Structure formats: C-alpha cells, structure tokens
Amino acid sequence: MAAPRKYPLELRERAVRMYRTSEPRPVIKRLAAELGVHPEALRGWIRQAEADHGERDDRLTTDERKELAALRKENSQLKRSNEILKAASVFFAQELDTTRRRY
C-alpha cells in the first residue's frame, strides 16, 4: 500500500498551473513559499507535468510509470509462480523415480 500523499492532488495541479500560466515564469522557491510547499516538491511536480505534456524526454510520463509498476508486479508474481512450479516438479519427479528404494 502506498504512503499517503503529503499534499493533495488539487494543490499540486493548481501549483503547476500557476507556474505554467504566469509570465514571466516565477522563481520556484518564491512560488513554493507562497503556496506553503517544499520547493523540491514543486520542482518535481513541474518536471512531471512537463514530461506528461511531452516537453521532457528525460522522465517517464505518469501513464508509463503506472504501466511499469504493473509490469514489475506481474513479473514478480510470475517469478513466484515459476518457483512453486519448479518445486512441485522436483517433488513429483522424486515420487515417480522407479530406481529409488522405498521402505
């Protein structure tokens, strides 16, 4: 389960919108102080919004992040399933081994 968010989504969206619509672009520290958020948090929100709008190539978009998380979860489940199947096949192979003596 994910940790609760420190700042509500509405505040994040409003802060990013304020930054993107104001001309000239405000200083992130000053805008963060006005909104009562940490400057690095605001900087991260702005970078993510830029990635979501195709303005940045160095970050994954929100949809890509969700897809990556789902694929990682599926991958770990498949690995666990494979381990269980390997253990079961070893167990049943030992039961079918005719050369092994049974007492």
Q: What is the pLDDT of residues 43-102, one digit of tens each?
A: 999 999 999 999 998 999 999 999 999 999 999 999 999 999 999 999 888 888 767 665
d(Cα 81, Cα 87) in Å, to the nearest integer?
10
Q: Is the pLDDT of residue 25 over 90?
A: no
Fold of 1-59: Arc Repressor Mutant, subunit A (1.10.10)
What is the average per-residue pLDDT within 15-20? 94
d(Cα 26, Cα 99) in Å, to the nearest integer?
80
Q: What is the residue extent of each domain of the chain?
A: 1-59, 62-103
- Angle of helix 28-35 relative to helix 39-52, nearest 10 degrees, comes to 110
What tokens does 52 get? 């979501």
For residues 45 and 12, is the Cβ–Cβ distance under 8 A? yes
